[in-house]
Amino acid sequence: MVDIVERDYLRPVLEEDPGPAAPAAGGGGFVAGFAPPTPFALHGCVLTPDQVLEAGWVEVEGPTIKRVGAAAPAAGIQRVETDGIILPGLIDLHGHPEYNVFAPWEPPKLFLNRGAWRASPGYDAVVKEPLANLKKAPSLQKTLTRYAEARALIGGTTAIQGTNGTFSNLEESLVRNVDRWIFGAHKARSIIDLDRTPPADITKLRTQIANGDVTAVYIHLAEGVNATSRAEFQALKDAKLLTPATVIIHGTALEESDFDDIAAAGAKLVWSPQSNLRLYGATTKAGLARSKGIPLALGADWQPSGSPSLLAEMQVARRALTEEGKPATARQLVRMVTVDAAGIAGLDDQIGKLAAGRPADVLVLERRDPDPWESVLDSLPSAVDLVVLGGDAAYGRAEWMRDLAGLSPGDPDPDGTERAIAWGKTMLLDLRFSVRAQAAPPPNLAALRKDLITRDPRIGPIFA
């Protein structure tokens, strides 16, 4: 049964997803969860890629952002005084969502490459065996992914990369999956192991890239610290897959000449320093890559060895860049999980930036530093006060969510929401979002947790 886990983990995304049979209702292409009944405006310190609006407003109408600016909204629009930092929903460009249902794995030693830890008895016992136990119940496949996406959402992430080729429950997407069907098209693909990808698939992929049918290919590459890991880059070049569409994930073993080749090709890089450091004791020369002009984004990787949230990954990235002698500013790091990540994903006309006419994917964080960019870097999921996805309030402070619904003190909470105590704050959470209409709404967090824990008690907590 453990072999099924390995099979699913390695399965690439090489075929085009089918689109929805009919246009989906609700915000941003999702079936509506808790959609505030009237337009609303968030007031606080608004961050855009190029400026800071210390007393700015983000107005949301339906699934889109209506206006971003310093002027107050018109009378009658529901307002929320956040006293916090308002920025785009975060974009995690490297993850393996279904693995994020467990507590982190403690690697017993450092490894030379990904093949070494995959073959270790400790990894089998702590990760693969419990996941295989869950996969014995086919109905839990959707539950696995949705619980993991709930974790991402509660951490401020509204778009993620990394679902494998067995992910057939596209209607269950709680956050936007950037390498699947998104905004009316499926123009991304992903590969875990290049050497296990059939030559015919590589040839087809090259043709799709040349024709413009595929604009982003996520490839795990050079993940490790030995010559075997670095040799994967030559294999990529030999396969003629070093292109402007190529997004290299990890690249831990790459050297300066390799980064020169990547820059010349117009390829991109996604970096997961926490996972690299825990597994290999070293990480990608990301500062060197940045100095070559290579677009760089971050990914929290997965719960076994990576960070528990993208916010936490940003803190590790800052320390790693400083250790490399090529520090980045807080603003540059925030860009790596917003506008720069959107550009790498080929979605910079849709997500990663707060601007009128764009889908309303909005994050509000508690203010923790006078410098707003530093405040974001000081944040963890405990600082998340509100997450809006496609105009729908998916997770937020209970009093704000109730105000957005226009409720009086004695009224029950908005239909479909559930209460959660998150690091001492009373929050409301709505997990009904999906990309296709369904006969019944997806289960709430309590039901997801119960289904998983009943099957295996080793499920990791979210609010911890």
Q: How far does CA 453 lie from the centroid of its chain?
A: 24
Handedness of CA 248, 254, 259, 264 (dihedral sign): negative
Please provide residue 291's backbone torsions phi and psi, each rounded to the nearest 5 degrees.
Answer: -65, -20
DSSP element (H, E) containing 291: helix 286-291
Identify whether the C-beta of residue 300 lies closer than 8 Å to the C-beta of residue 314.
no
Identify whether the C-beta of residue 188 lies closer than 8 Å to the C-beta of residue 345.
yes
User: What pLDDT shows up at residue 56?
Assistant: 98
Q: For residues 82 and 60, give the distance between their C-alpha atoms in angstroms, rounded to a whole number.
A: 15
Q: For residues 289 and 255, give the distance between their C-alpha atoms in angstroms, rounded to a whole number.
A: 9
**Residue/partner pairs of 370-375 with CB below 8 Å, 24 or more apart:** 371/330, 372/45, 372/47, 372/52, 372/54, 372/85, 373/47, 373/52, 373/329, 373/330, 373/331, 373/334, 374/330, 375/45, 375/85
- Pick from 373, 318, 317: nearest CA to 50: 373
- pLDDT tens readout for residues 411-427: 999 988 999 999 999 99
Q: For residues 228 and 248, give the distance between their C-alpha atoms in angstroms, rounded to a whole number.
A: 16
CA angle (444, 448, 449) in 5-degree steps: 120
User: What percent of the chain lies above the pLDDT cut of 70?
Assistant: 91
- pLDDT tens readout for residues 143-186: 888 898 899 999 999 999 987 656 555 555 688 989 888 888 88
User: What pLDDT shows up at residue 163?
Assistant: 76
Lowest mean pLDDT among 122-126, 223-227, 432-436: 432-436
Identify whether the C-beta of residue 345 lies closer than 8 Å to the C-beta of residue 93.
yes
Identify whether the C-beta of residue 159 lies closer than 8 Å to the C-beta of residue 175.
yes
Helices 140-154 and 445-455: crossing angle in degrees, nearest 10, is: 130
- pLDDT tens readout for residues 392-410: 999 999 999 999 999 999 9
Higher-confidence position of 88 and 49: 88
Instruction: Please report, as a single letter, which amino acid is at residue 288.
Output: L
- pLDDT tens readout for residues 6-56: 666 667 778 887 766 554 444 444 455 677 889 999 999 999 988 899 999
Instruction: Please report, as a single letter, which amino acid is at residue 254.
Output: L
- pLDDT tens readout for residues 310-322: 999 999 999 999 9
What mean pLDDT comes out for the span 199-208?
94
Give DSSP secondary structure letters for 343-378.
HHTT-TTTSSS--TTSB--EEEE---SSSHHHHHHT
Query: What ranges in 364-464 are assigned the alpha helix state H?
Result: 372-377, 398-404, 445-455
Whether 381 has a pLDDT exceeding 90, the answer reads yes
User: What percent of the chain lies above the pLDDT cut of 90?
Assistant: 70
